[in-house]
Amino acid sequence: MGDLAPPAVTFWGAAGSVTGSMHLVEAGGRRILLDCGAVRGYRGGHWSHHREFPFAARDIDAVVLSHAHIDHCGNLPDLVGHGFAGPIYCTPATREILALMLGDSARIQDEEAFVQNVIDADAEQAASPPVSRRHHVECTLQQCVPVPYEQATAITGDMQLRLVDAGHILGSAMVALTLDGSGRTKTLTFTGDLGRRESPLLRAPSSVPSADLVISESTYGGRLVESTARAAEHLATIVGRTVERGGKVLIPAFSLGRTQVVLYCLEEARRSGKVPAVPMFVDSPLAAAIAEVYGRYPESLNPEYAGGLRGVESATASNELSAAEGARYVRSSQESEELSRRREPCIVLAPGGMCDGGRILRHLKQNIDDPRCSVVLVSYQAPHSLGRKLLKPGPVIRFHGRFWNRWADFVELPGFSGHSDHNELLDFLTPLAGTSPSIRLVHGEPEAAGALAWALRERGFANVEMAKLGQRVVID
Ligand SMILES: [Zn+2]
């Protein structure tokens, strides 16, 4: 039995921004969270954790997680640390990737905390026990309840959940909820991050479920992004001319999502002879582990990709590789160091995508002054990130406390994005116009969400707004 209040949603993150996805749904006296993402800091490279929540964590009955990117899941251990003990519903693949992502993020935080303790030289702080984050990560994973795509599942109270393939990364889902309140049934759809229609790796997103309220992402509102196939052609050209002049191709890429797409396109291009047979390295233990998870879910992948997925091997940078072999995963830091000093032509994918941290930094330091080399930026570059600065022309660039000669070739290729662009978002949402849902746009900068809202009104949606932080919307 639901209470008399109609169902409502409050936006507690990713409202007017692309980070910290978190929305509170209240219905029939129950409270569930859609996502619980970390917030990316000003410079783009750091995630903020351990924050206070705008509600009591122990009062949340359940969480539904759309996918395992940190800006959607990174604050789950904090929620657990603040007393949340309920189930976390997600797809089986998301549960597996979540374990890797939260484990990696806990490791980075431990390292940062250690460095901070040394810097602070504060007796009290240095003596404090290591952050209990690892324990909270373990609890988070134990609280996960895997729900396969398209399986209607009763969750807390009278709520019904269905997860629908969003085609953004492996395991990504749109969330379709049926809610009871004030004696009437209401429906809500949350798109999470919505993938592209033509991904070489993943199946295309399913249709967006119709609902009384649709919460849609709007990352690329107002922007058209070239197709992945075109981006792959451009990348092949860049690789060709770089190898011809004896240089290396460096590709900063996030370990989850972008790395798998770019790697697939490079392997395809090499198989068909569009790029020269030089060794390819993925300098990321996390990407290696993620590739293994991708290999366990062939049914979620494009059949061609699933067939071509090969075993993940580690390799040292000095290995002689034949053209027939696929990419080699570099796990140890020492091997990574050797690879960064390698002078022969090769292709290196390494995190992080915005160059603010991760192994890509050592490759940049070793190669940025080599005019034969190319650096291909395939991820979104936040306004104050090092990646954004690197794209500005100029002979020198300052980072990590000194000036570096910026003599390598820098190119931006946004077409490997895992998000629908403006037209794709419109195509996915327009079929719902006939059912006149309310739409609230999240996960987009204000101009992006504004441009999409305007276009949706043109397509016949009467009630479209950009979500505001802390705003509560009643579904009636
Ligand atoms: Zn995402």
CA of 156 to the centre of ligand 1 (A): 26
pLDDT value of position 313: 45
Amino acid 463: pLDDT: 96
- Which secondary-structure segment (H or E) carries 110? helix 92-120
CA of 19 to the centre of ligand 1 (A): 10
- CA atoms lying within 13 Å on the CB side of residue 213: 26
**For residue 2, how far is its CA from the centre of ligand 1 (angstroms)?**
33
Q: What are phi and psi of 455, to 5 degrees?
A: -65, -35
The Cα 258–Cα 286 span in angstroms is 13
Distance (angstroms) between ligand 1 centre and the Cα of 434 equals 28
pLDDT string in tens for the chain (476-residue length): 446 788 999 999 888 887 899 999 999 899 999 999 998 764 445 566 656 899 999 999 999 999 999 999 999 999 999 999 999 999 999 999 999 999 988 777 777 666 666 666 554 444 444 557 889 999 999 999 999 999 999 998 889 999 999 999 999 999 999 998 767 899 999 999 999 999 999 999 999 999 999 999 999 999 999 999 999 999 999 999 999 999 999 999 999 999 999 999 999 999 899 999 999 999 999 999 999 999 999 888 887 666 555 444 444 433 433 334 579 999 999 999 999 999 999 999 999 999 988 999 999 999 999 999 999 999 888 778 899 999 999 999 999 899 999 999 999 999 999 999 999 999 999 999 988 899 999 999 899 999 999 999 999 999 999 999 999 999 98
CA 419 to ligand 1 center in whole angstroms: 8
- Distance from residue 125's CA to the centre of ligand 1 (Å): 35
Q: What is the pLDDT of residue 107?
A: 76
**Residue 270 alpha carbon to ligand 1 centre in Å:** 28
Distance 304 CA to ligand 1 centre (A): 23
Task: Name the strand (E) or helix (H) holding 77.
Answer: helix 76-81
pLDDT at 50: 53
In the prediction, which pLDDT does 363 show?
98
Supply the pLDDT for residue 126: 46
Of 232, 222, 171, which is closest to residue 376 (Cα–Cα)? 232
Give the Å distance between the CA of 102 and the centre of ligand 1.
15
End-to-end CA distance of the chain: 18
Assess contact for 194 and 174: CB atoms under 8 A: yes
- Please state, in angstroms and rounded to a whole number, the distance separating the CA atoms of residues 325 and 307: 15
Task: Write the DSSP assignment of 282-328 as a string of letters.
Answer: E--HHHHHHHHHHHT-GGGB-HHHHHH-----B--TT----TTS--E
Helix 258-271 vs helix 285-295: angle between axes, to the nearest 10 degrees? Answer: 80
Q: Give 443 Cα–ligand 1 centroid separation in angstroms.
A: 10
pLDDT at position 19: 81
- What is the dihedral sign for C-alpha 196, 197, 198, 204? positive
Using alpha carbons only, how large is the chain's radius of gyration in Å? 23
User: Ligand 1 mean position to 264 CA, how many Å?
Assistant: 19
Q: What's the gap in Å between 168 CA and the centre of ligand 1?
A: 7
Q: For residue 203, report the distance from its CA to the centre of ligand 1, in Å.
A: 16
